[in-house]
């Protein structure tokens, strides 16, 4: 039974979906102090109690969903990863292939692991995440990157939860947040958090496509949840919404065509044939996530650190193109955008300028044709050519 931490006391639990409300009127279970000290029974003497105590602490810490599964993956997840890598659809992300065995088998990463605690944190926006896509002089930044780096926020919360588990039950633990060879999406499905949708991301009935995931591997033997059933049905909105056709079939992603990959992970020049479809997306892409019908049940995230910074909601392309390394680092301090560096980011901005058909942006692009980074200079020349072509009679892409 997945514990959806947004199920409030008094609401009817939907047993068919495995959602159970957590009865926790107190921030800590009875008999337990702030430091988790207690003489209560071990998990073997009270498995249900252990799960409820962990869930209650997760609620107190601010998590929105939590579930449990064995430290193992099914054959389907392993086969999908193998096919993805064999087709070369991981692009420059060689690290995916380098540790594929550990991704496919959690106990290959840590042989002592018995169970996985999967936690979810909602980052659902409070407005239409695609509203900026049509603003030609502005840049569109993926919802997840409009404030603090979620790795830092989520890892801090997970460490507090892990400390509680160790203090309460005494096992060994390891905490992971998207920085280790962990297939977190299949684990989330096995833990009952949600299911892996046709866009390959996790979908939750309560939170839609807007969940950050983190994991605690532990030597504690925790009874697993029932894996969440796939609720996509016949819907293919996410496949149709992808600007670059990076979803060639349900549950299949070609990362080499994905705007998130191209703007974040890809280091070199972006293929010319994909540039026009990128529009003004300068860091990531939310199109496949935003059109998911399950989002209608998602409430805007209550977590202040994940609320969008005003200056990142619709930044002006002309101003972003002027960033040097120092100003870039200052502007994006504490943001996941800082991870890609100034050159890659400005490359993305220039492609958006080239797609804008806005001649007032020509000076910003022209200045960067002499940039010391050849990838930036090439993107600037391309942007100028596109703007000139758009201004010509009968012009366009």
Return d(Cα 332, Cα 25) in angstroms, integer.
39
Q: Which of 47, 137, 178, 230 is catalytic?
A: 178
Q: Identify the H or E element spanning 67.
A: strand 65-70
Q: DSSP class of residue 220?
A: S
Q: Are strands 281-283 and 140-141 parallel, antiparallel or unpaired?
A: parallel
Alpha helix ranges (H) inside 21-72: 47-61
Identify the CA nearest to 262 among candidates 286, 290, 283.
283
Residue 381 phi, psi dihedral angles, 5° rounding: -65, -40
Contacts of 241 (CB under 8 A, 6+ apart): 287, 288, 290, 291
* Cβ-contact 63, 22 below 8 angstroms: no
- Residue whose structure tokens are 């609320």: 307
Rounded Cα–Cα distance for residues 238 and 249 (Å): 10
- Give the whole-angstrom CA distance, residue 72 versus residue 179: 19
Q: DSSP class of residue 264?
A: I
C-alpha 328/C-alpha 67 separation (Å) is 38
Supply angle C-alpha 8, 176, 112, rounded to 5: 105
Catalytic residue status for 178: yes
Burial environment of residue 381 by CB neighbours within 10 A (0 to 12, 13 to 18, 19 or more):
middle
Q: Which residues are known catalytic residues?
A: 178
């Amino acid at each position: 039974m997945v514990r959806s931490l947004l199920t409030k006391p008094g609401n009817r639990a939907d047993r068919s979906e495995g959602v159970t409300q957590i009865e926790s009127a107190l921030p800590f279970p009875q008999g337990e102090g702030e430091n988790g000290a207690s003489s209560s029974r071990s998990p073997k003497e009270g498995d249900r109690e252990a799960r409820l105590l962990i869930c209650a602490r997760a609620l107190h810490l601010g998590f929105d969903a939590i579930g449990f599964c064995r430290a193992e993956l099914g054959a389907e997840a392993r086969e999908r990863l193998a096919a993805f890598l064999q087709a070369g659809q991981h692009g420059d992300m060689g690290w995916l292939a380098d540790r594929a065995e550990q991704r496919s088998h959690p106990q290959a990463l840590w042989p002592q692991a018995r169970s996985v605690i999967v936690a979810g944190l909602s980052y659902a926006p409070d407005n239409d995440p695609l509203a900026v896509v049509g603003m030609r002089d502005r840049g569109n930044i993926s919802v997840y990157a409009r404030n603090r780096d979620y790795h830092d926020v989520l890892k801090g919360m997970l460490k507090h939860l892990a400390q509680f588990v160790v203090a309460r039950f005494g096992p060994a633990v390891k905490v992971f947040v998207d920085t280790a060879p962990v297939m977190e999406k299949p684990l989330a499905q096995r833990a009952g958090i949600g299911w892996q949708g046709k866009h390959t991301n996790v979908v939750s009935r309560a939170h839609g496509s807007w969940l950050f995931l983190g994991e605690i591997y532990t030597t504690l033997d925790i009874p697993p949840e029932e894996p969440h059933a796939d609720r996509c049905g016949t819907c293919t909105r996410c496949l149709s919404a992808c600007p670059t056709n990076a979803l060639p079939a349900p549950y299949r992603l070609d990362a080499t065509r994905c705007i998130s990959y191209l703007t974040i992970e890809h280091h070199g020049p972006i293929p010319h044939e994909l540039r026009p479809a990128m529009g003004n997306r300068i860091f990531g892409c939310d199109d496949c996530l935003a059109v998911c019908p399950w989002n209608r049940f998602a409430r805007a995230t209550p977590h202040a650190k994940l609320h969008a910074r005003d200056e990142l909601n619709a930044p002006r392309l002309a101003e972003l193109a002027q960033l040097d390394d120092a100003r870039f680092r200052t502007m994006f301090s504490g943001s996941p955008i800082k991870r890609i560096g100034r050159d890659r980011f400005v490359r993305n901005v220039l492609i958006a300028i080239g797609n804008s058909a806005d001649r007032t942006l020509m000076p910003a692009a022209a200045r960067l044709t002499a940039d010391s980074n050849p990838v930036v200079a090439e993107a600037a020349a391309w942007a100028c050519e596109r703007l000139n072509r758009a201004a010509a009679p009968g012009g366009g892409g």
